[in-house]
Structure 1
Amino acid sequence: MPGPRAPQRGPGADLTSLAEAGTGTGTVIGADRDPAAIEAARERAADRQTVTVLLGDIHALPLLDHAADRARTDRTLQHVADPAQALREFHHVLRPGGRLVMGEPDWDTLAVDHPDSDLSRACTR
Structure 2
Amino acid sequence: ASVFGEMLTFKKMLENAKDQNERKVLLAGKVEDMINTVIRQIAFYDFECKLHEARKAGELTPDDINALWMSVQGESLGPAFEFMDGYETFWAYIPHFVHSPFYVYAYAFGDGLVNALYAVYE
Higher RCO structure (Cα 8 Å, ≥6 apart)? 2
TM-score (norm: length of structure 1)? 0.24
Q: Of Structure 1 and Structure 2, which has the larger fraction of its residues in strand?
A: 1
TM-score (norm: length of structure 2)? 0.24
